Amino acid sequence: MNAPTPPPPPPYAPPPVPPVVDLTAPAAPPVEPWAEVPHPPPVAPPIAPPVEPWADVPPVAPPPVAPTPAEPWAEVPPVPVVTPPAEAQVDDPTAPSLWAEPAAATEAPEERARVGGIRDDQLPGRLDVHQLSQWFNKRKVLERCSLSMEPGEVTALIGPSGCGKSTFLRALNRMHELVPGAELSGQVLLNGVDIYGVDMSPTEVRLRIGMVFQKPNPFPAMSIADNVLAGLGLSGSKTDDPEGLVEQCLRRAGLWAEVKDRLNESGMSLSGGQQQRLCIARSLAVHPDVLLMDEPCSALDPISTRVIEETIRELCHDITIVIVTHNMQQAQRVSDQCAFFLVETLGEPGRIVENGPTERMFDNPSDPRTLDYVNGRFG
Ligand SMILES: Nc1ncnc2c1ncn2[C@@H]1O[C@H](COP(=O)(O)OP(=O)(O)OP(=O)(O)O)[C@@H](O)[C@H]1O
Ligand SMILES: [Mg+2]
């Protein structure tokens, strides 16, 4: 007897394919309560190069707007694209926005200085940073950093590699405007005036807030004297006494005695430490209120390092100095105030863990991570 024929198998059907998830696509930013706060787009100012255009800033596309012909930097192509991020952070919606119209100036025009609304009698400069966040290509690298850098003091920014010290420093003179995909929120006030305000051009900001980079970068084709005066040419400033200015700046940078008999030699003929002091002298020539220094001694020998540190202590009487350093002894030697940056969890943005007088930060910090870092237990 034949067994009953089993029913034929159902036709083959492939298992359902789950929807493809693009794991490489950037996650949408979380909806934050302040997301709806309107942010007017920034008014694009005519863009000038930094006073030191040879900085290690990546090249960017030519400007869509023709620069003003009267400006000496008119032919320089880079254009910043700094726009407020979609999740721009405004905890207090009534707080002045980085992108907001600046308050009307109260001083008479003749009382106002050549730069923005900052008066010349307010030197050296005071920098107040409020809730500064920074993104690169939508990736947040700094989270709401607030810090005041007092007039006439040296503030050291310390922390492990990648925690955002250079990013913070560069935001203090609008350096990221030349970086595509860079966005920021928050405020940077120089003597109470928003450096990102519509009446402050990047060039004006960089005249007030100079920058010295990690690697000495004198103009190779220029003499020592011309290197000192180079910033004047780029900014359109003039001096009646170029020789006097060269001597003054080189003296203040602690280099005069070593180069006074060779001012016409190439800047490249100097040693690394001398080149770095030449770059400091070049920054001083435009009389900045603030000098930013990103690991200025990291490529130098101990003796050159000490000379630069002495120069910093001399300069800080009339220039506010902000220095990034990995050298804890240097931070203790040169700084009055210290701010400790940290990325708490990999992939998160850097934050300021704590800041305060350098002595307290090293001897009795309030956060145990600060103590561990300054004692070399990590980073
Ligand atoms: N131009 C840029 N484009 C994209 N990401 C950037 C850019 N500049 C900095 N970053 C990122 O921002 C973060 C902070 O970098 P930053 O250079 O500020 O760190 P740092 O604390 O100065 O580190 P280090 O001590 O090594 O110099 C890093 O994750 C870095 O990759
Ligand atoms: Mg750095």
Residue with tokens 């190439």: 266
- Which residue type does 143 have? E
pLDDT, residue 87, reads 45
pLDDT, residue 243, reads 95
Cα(263)–Cα(168) distance, integer angstroms: 35
Candidate from 165, 214, 298 with most ligand 1 atoms within 8 A of CB, to mutate: 165
Taking the CA atoms of 86, 89, 93 and 99 in sequence, report the sign of the dihedral they define.
Answer: negative
Nearest 5°: the CA angle 249, 250, 253 is 85
pLDDT, residue 338, reads 98
For ligand 2, a single-atom ion, the residues with CB < 5 A are 166
Q: Put the strands of the sheet holding 182-190 in their side by side order.
A: 139-149, 127-136, 182-190, 193-194
Nearest 5°: the CA angle 129, 133, 138 is 155
The bound ligand whose nearest atom lies closest to the alpha carbon of 163 is: 1
Q: Contact at 8 Å (CB) between 149 and 126?
A: yes
Residue 51 alpha carbon to ligand 1 centre in Å = 22
Residue 158 alpha carbon to ligand 2 centre in Å = 10
Candidate from 145, 167, 325 with most ligand 1 atoms within 8 A of CB, to mutate: 167
> Tens-digit pLDDT profile for the chain (379 aa)?
455 555 665 555 555 544 443 444 444 444 343 333 333 334 444 444 344 444 443 333 333 433 333 333 333 333 333 444 444 444 333 333 333 333 333 333 333 333 333 334 545 799 999 999 999 999 999 999 999 999 989 999 999 999 999 999 999 999 998 899 999 999 999 999 999 998 898 888 988 999 999 999 999 999 999 999 998 877 777 889 999 999 999 999 999 999 999 999 999 999 999 999 999 999 999 999 999 999 999 988 899 899 999 999 999 998 999 999 999 999 999 999 999 999 999 999 999 999 999 999 999 999 999 999 999 988 7
pLDDT, residue 183, reads 95
Whole-angstrom CA distances from 36 to 39, 43, 82, 96, 137 are: 9, 20, 19, 16, 21
The bound ligand whose nearest atom lies closest to the alpha carbon of 55 is: 1
Q: What is the phi-psi region of residue 94: left when phi exceeds 0, alpha when psi lies from -120 to 50, beta otherwise? A: alpha
Cα(41)–Cα(99) distance, integer angstroms: 7
- Tokens representing residue 212 in the block: 């010295």
Residue 295 alpha carbon to ligand 2 centre in Å = 7
Q: How many CB atoms lie within 10 A of CB 301?
A: 12
Candidate from 166, 169, 177 with most ligand 1 atoms within 8 A of CB, to mutate: 166
First to last CA, the chain: 83
Whole-angstrom CA distances from 248 to 99, 266, 285 are: 38, 19, 9
CA 162 from centroid of its chain's CA atoms = 14
- Choose among 120, 101, 125: nearest CA to 110: 120
Ligand 1 atom showing the smallest separation from residue 179 Cα: 1
Q: Dihedrals φ, ψ of 184, to 5°? A: -150, 160
Ligand 1 atom showing the smallest separation from residue 163 Cα: 21
Residue 322 alpha carbon to ligand 2 centre in Å = 13
pLDDT, residue 77, reads 31
Residues within 6 Å of ligand 1 by CB: 136, 141, 159, 161-167, 179
Q: What is the DSSP string of 68-101?
A: PTTSTTTT----------TT---SSTTSPPTTSP
Q: Dihedrals φ, ψ of 374, to 5°? A: -70, -20
pLDDT, residue 123, reads 58
Query: What's the chain's Rg over C-alpha atoms?
Result: 26
Ligand 1 atom showing the smallest separation from residue 326 Cα: 25
Candidate from 135, 136, 184 with most ligand 1 atoms within 8 A of CB, to mutate: 136
**Which residues are CB-contacts of 342 (< 8 A; sequence separation ≥ 6)?**
159, 160, 163, 350, 351, 353, 369, 373
Ligand 1 atom 31: residue of nearest CA? 162
Residue 147 alpha carbon to ligand 1 centre in Å = 19
Taking the CA atoms of 237, 239, 243 and 247 in sequence, report the sign of the dihedral they define.
Answer: negative
Ligand 1 atom 24: residue of nearest CA? 161
- Choose among 226, 167, 213, 100: nearest CA to 351: 167
Taking the CA atoms of 238, 242, 246 and 248 in sequence, report the sign of the dihedral they define.
Answer: negative
Residue 29 alpha carbon to ligand 1 centre in Å = 21
Residue 270 alpha carbon to ligand 1 centre in Å = 30
The bound ligand whose nearest atom lies closest to the alpha carbon of 160 is: 1
The bound ligand whose nearest atom lies closest to the alpha carbon of 162 is: 1
Ligand 1 atom 2: residue of nearest CA? 136
- Choose among 252, 190, 249: nearest CA to 225: 249
- Which residue type does 271 have? S
**Which residues are CB-contacts of 197 (< 8 A; sequence separation ≥ 6)?**
102, 116
Burial 352-364 (b: 16+ CB within 10 A, else e): bbbbeebeebbee
Q: What is this structure's pTM?
A: 0.73
